[in-house]
Amino acid sequence: MTTIIIADDHEIVRRGIRSLLEADPACRVVAEAMDGLAAAQAVEKFKPNVLFLDLNMPRLHGLEVLKQVRGTSPRTKVIILSMHNDEPYVIEALRAGASAYLLKGSESQEIAAALKEVLADRRYLSAPLSEWAITALTSRVADASDPVASLSGREREVLQLAAEGFGTSEIAEKLFISPRTCESHRANLMRKLGLQSQTDLVRFAIRKGLIQAQFISCRPVAAAMGCIALQSHAYSAAQSDYPLPPNLKSAP
């Protein structure tokens, strides 16, 4: 019997994967998780054969979950199920120990194929990610000069949430830390990365593939204070490498 945990913050995704997997009597879903922290805790408790894991999870980013799983349940095979086909995401996930990387929207046959491959101790990459890329990506030596490497795990979590548009209080609540501690982490990461403003932070996160421009969030308070202008500024700052999506371009 293959035991499985499904971790995704969208119920419809979890339901779809569960339905597909449980059509095989040899598979049993032992738990579901709607955020990263719950996923890490469930893996530690159940020690499943396989974890289906989304990357952009609340409370704990998927990459941090992956790193924790490697320590608490090293035999668990992790299949990343993500909307991101950006190279930085794939590289980081494979380096962190993922056995497979599937794009959301993959056909059911591909999900089944990925499960079969990882259970046979082989890696699997979703189309349009090519097979030969597995070796190329995992063989790359991490750039020691990359400033992100200097950040602690908590600082990386704060970086992502701040870039997504969450305020200090919201980030503190999500990470179960005090606002003062959150501010300290933010100040440290800004210093380490040489950033001066929120726009700098968003631009850096986009360039590093930590977020995508179209997913920057407008929080209620920010919206009341002119969030659209802030987003436009952030997008403009990154436009040289990441042009605005057509639906976000200004009207002529």
Looking at residue 203, its amino acid is: R
pLDDT at 121: 95
| Residue that wins the pLDDT comparison between 158 and 214 | 158
The C-alpha atoms of residue 49 and residue 90 are separated, in whole angstroms, by 22
- We find that the CATH architecture of domain 2-139 is 3-Layer(aba) Sandwich (3.40)
Max avg pLDDT among 3-7, 78-82, 92-96, 152-156: 3-7
Neighbour tally for 153: CB within 10 Å: 13
pLDDT at 135: 58
94, containing H or E segment: helix 87-95
Fold of 147-248: Arc Repressor Mutant, subunit A (1.10.10)
Q: How far is CA 227 from CA 52, 131, 173, 220, 223, in A?
A: 34, 41, 22, 9, 4
Domain ranges of the chain: 2-139, 147-248
| Residue that wins the pLDDT comparison between 17 and 61 | 17
Burial class (CB in 10 A: 0-12, 13-18, 19+), 133: middle
Comparing 2-16, 26-40, 136-150, 166-180, the range with the smallest average pLDDT is 136-150
Mean pLDDT of the chain: 80
CB 32, CB 123: distance < 8 Å = no
Looking at residue 147, its amino acid is: P
The C-alpha atoms of residue 178 and residue 170 are separated, in whole angstroms, by 10
Q: Cβ contacts of residue 245 below 8 Å, gap of 6+?
A: 213, 214
Instruction: List b or e across 233-252, with b for residues whose CB sees 16 or more CB atoms inside 10 angstroms.
Output: ebbebbeeebebeeeeeeee
Query: What percent of the chain is predicted at pLDDT more than 90?
Result: 47
pTM across the whole model: 0.64
CB 94, CB 79: distance < 8 Å = no
What pLDDT, in 10s, does the model give residues 86-144?
666 787 788 889 999 998 888 899 999 999 999 999 989 887 676 555 555 555 555 55
Decide if pLDDT at 237 tops 60: no
The C-alpha atoms of residue 54 and residue 166 are separated, in whole angstroms, by 20
